[in-house]
């Protein structure tokens, strides 16, 4: 039962985040998802919805990580879950320390916020690489090895693309969307597998 609850959290978090982010983005007049970071959606009249979405995603990611650690007793998974815990803390902090809507402004808040954003960008793909190694050692999880590796590569590529934010071709928003989409899809896939393994008679 505990395993299924932790897995259910891993399913709920991505769904809530996607629904909340889409809702706020559609309601935000003038928002450009290609150039503006998703964190800017947490600023404004309905910003609390986006802030709550980040907190929810962070908490549910930590719960999923706990479930994976309990289900897969492999050293690489232990390292991976620690990195997922770090990413979850950074996600929560992204909602508590707001950035600037104007990316030409470098305030203390923005610097700290960007630090937590970098934390997620580094911790998540590294966690996936460790998880892939752990999944490979567990027959019940080998089906997610290739997928988890691909997600890590996509996330790393998105990290590399962040340098475009420093050029006239500002694709900060697109880079964040790719990173978060990879994370949401991976969370859902891992949570589904964990949930099925928690069912009576599952193998």
Tens place of pLDDT per residue across the chain (203 aa) = 688 999 999 999 999 999 999 999 988 888 887 777 788 888 888 889 999 999 999 999 999 999 999 999 999 999 999 999 999 999 999 888 877 666 666 788 888 988 998 899 999 999 999 999 999 999 999 999 999 999 999 999 887 766 555 555 566 778 888 899 999 999 999 999 999 997 654 55
Looking at CATH, the fold of the domain delimited by 2-28+36-197 is given as Rhopdopsin 7-helix transmembrane proteins (1.20.1070)
Task: Give the model's pLDDT for residue 24.
Answer: 92
Task: Give the model's pLDDT for residue 29.
Answer: 84
Per the listing, tokens 């937590």 go with 116
Per the listing, tokens 């990413």 go with 87
Helix H, strand E, coil C: the string for 109-139 is HHHHHHHHHHHHHHHHHHHHHHHHHHHHCCH
Residue 194: how many other CB atoms lie within 10 Å: 23
Task: Give the model's pLDDT for residue 169.
Answer: 58
Task: Give the model's pLDDT for residue 132.
Answer: 97
Task: Give the model's pLDDT for residue 126.
Answer: 97
Structural domain boundaries of the chain?
2-28+36-197
Task: Give the model's pLDDT for residue 163.
Answer: 57
Residue 36's closest CA among 49, 53, 24? 24
């Amino acid at each position: 039962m505990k395993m299924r609850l932790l897995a259910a959290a891993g399913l709920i978090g991505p769904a809530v985040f996607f629904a909340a982010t889409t809702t706020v983005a559609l309601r935000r007049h003038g928002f450009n998802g290609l150039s503006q970071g998703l964190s800017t959606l947490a600023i404004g009249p309905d910003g609390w919805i986006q802030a709550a979405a980040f907190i929810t995603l962070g908490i549910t990611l930590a719960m999923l990580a706990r479930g994976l650690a309990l289900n897969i007793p492999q050293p690489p998974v232990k390292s991976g879950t620690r990195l997922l815990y770090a990413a979850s803390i950074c996600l929560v902090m992204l909602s508590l320390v707001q950035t600037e809507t104007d990316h030409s402004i470098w305030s203390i808040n923005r610097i700290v916020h960007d630090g937590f954003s970098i934390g997620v960008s580094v911790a998540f793909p590294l966690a996936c690489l460790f998880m892939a190694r752990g999944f490979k050692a567990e027959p019940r999880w080998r089906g997610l090895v290739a997928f988890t590796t691909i997600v890590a590569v996509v996330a790393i590529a998105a990290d590399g693309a962040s340098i475009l934010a420093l050029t006239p071709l500002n694709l900060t928003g697109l880079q964040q969307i790719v990173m978060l989409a990879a994370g949401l899809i991976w969370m859902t896939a891992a949570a589904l597998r964990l949930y099925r393994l928690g069912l009576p008679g599952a193998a």
